[in-house]
Amino acid sequence: MEQDIQTDNHHASHLEHPENEACYTGLQVNTGVEQPPAINPYMKRRRRPQLTVADYVEGILAGNPAILGQAVTLVESKAPEHQQVAQEVIERCLPHAGRSRRIGITGVPGAGKSTSIDVFGMHVLKRGGKLAVLAIDPSSERSKGSILGDKTRMEQLSVHPRAFIRPSPSAGSLGGVARKTRETIVLCEAAGYDTVFVETVGVGQSETAVHSMVDYFLLIQLAGTGDELQGIKRGIMEMADGIVINKADGDNIERANLAAAQFRNALHLFPMPPSGVLPEVMTYSGYYGINIEAVWDMIDRYFDAVTRSGYFEEKRRNQERYWMFETINEQLRLNFYNNPEVSAMLEVKERNVRLSRQSSFTAAAEVLDFYFSQLKSNS
Ligand code: GDP
């Protein structure tokens, strides 16, 4: 038998390789051996058992982080059947949600967000309770390594049993990504997470989205770059409930204090925020753990003040209203753009407008008329 195989091999390789011709001696090319598969073929792929809505809800309410994670995956899924289950799970978790402090954290890349979240998070956990860290980064795509998604950036929290870290939902429209994060907050709260951080990179529009889902918005700034107030969009300053200057350590302390003074002055130029609490400015060092407690006391003071004044509840109610409209807008937009006839018509209209054959207004009106008439005839 072995003999047969060898002869066969020899025969085959003889055909493919001229080196095996009789005239070449001393060189023999053998047929290669097929590589074994990298995955053990005997190991059956175990399919995760399908959880029912009741299973998810029960697991979440019991504070099971694995089930919470799976439910978040469902929320993030684009598949309509997943979405349907996700919406039911969210609906049933809603009565158990809302009992957390939601804190948005923003700052430009390199400001020290992850270092700080790690330290602030550990500080919060020292008091007990559970912490969820979520992120909004519409530019991220998990497979390509999201800037905000890398769990290892939060060394201590990532191994803490009472912390749940979830990277940004993968790339999509900001509205879509933000809605998913907002829904994830509901699930985390139902699972007993009483502090929720929502991290976002301090560029672009994502701060507005985060601002619309948190109770407190913390802006992390750097000193010593020589352009303290420059590059900070007025909008972000106005949204901030507190400003902290990071990296106030070593020979940077002086500059950090100076920057803090400049921020305080600048804040006086803005109208009083609707919370009725003038944003405080502090310096700290996330890396060296300096002033962490003071920063957290500042945040506590805010929560005390707005809870007493009733602004906390008022803001939450306004946010609910905002999210209702956001969801409607998002669904309308999807329904419109995912309609195959509309998108075919849009292609034509787009060309017409580009070639100045039609004005943008008539083109838009015609597409919308078509869409609405289609809706009417379907009803
Ligand atoms: P992110 O991009 O905003 O998440 O910033 P990182 O947390 O990744 O920090 C960016 C860099 O700044 C890292 O090299 C950190 O080690 C460093 N860093 C963060 N916080 C501090 C700090 O308080 N002091 C100093 N000196 N460096 C810091």
Task: Give pLDDT, residue 67.
Answer: 96
DSSP code of residue 178: H
- 46: pLDDT confidence band, cut at 50, 70 and 90? low
CA of 351 to the centre of ligand 1 (A): 48
- What's the longest Cα–Cα distance across the chain? 98
Q: Within 10 A of 129 (CB to CB), how many other CB atoms are there?
A: 14
3-state secondary structure string across 308-330: HHCHHHHHHHHHHHHHHHHHHHH
State the closest ligand 1 atom to the C-alpha of 246, by its place in the atom list counted from 1: 23
Cβ(283)–Cβ(244) below 8 Å: yes
Backbone angles phi, psi at 29, to 5 degrees: -105, 120
> How many angstroms from the chain centroid is the CA of residue 374?
36
Contact 59, 277 (CB under 8 A): no
pLDDT-derived band of residue 152, with 50, 70 and 90 as boundaries?
A: low
Q: Which residue has the higher pLDDT, 48 or 264?
A: 264
Cβ–ligand 1 distance for 246 under 6 Å, the answer yes
What distance in Å separates the CA atoms of residue 95 and residue 283, rounded to the nearest whole number? 38
201 neighbors 137 (Cβ within 8 angstroms): yes
Distance separating alpha carbons of residues 51 and 58, to the nearest angstrom: 11
The finding on whether 286 has its CB within 6 A of some atom of ligand 1 is: yes
**Whose Cα sits closest to atom 21 in ligand 1?**
287
Query: By alpha-carbon position, which residue is closest to atom 19 of ligand 1?
Result: 112
Q: Residues near 198 by Cβ (< 8 Å), separated by ≥ 6?
A: 102, 103, 104, 105, 134, 135, 136, 181, 185, 210, 213, 214
What confidence score (pLDDT) does residue 17 get? 67
DSSP line for 180-194:
HHHHHHHHHHHTT--
What distance in angstroms lies between residue 375's CA and the mean position of ligand 1's atoms?
A: 53
φ, ψ of residue 193 in degrees (nearest 5)? -75, 115
Quick check: 144 pLDDT over 80?
no
Mean pLDDT of the chain, nearest integer: 85
C-beta 184 within 6 A of ligand 1: no
Interval 165-192: pLDDT, tens: 988 777 667 777 888 899 999 999 999 9
Helix then strand then coil, % of the chain, to nearest 5: 55, 10, 35
* Angstrom distance (rounded) from CA 26 to CA 20: 9
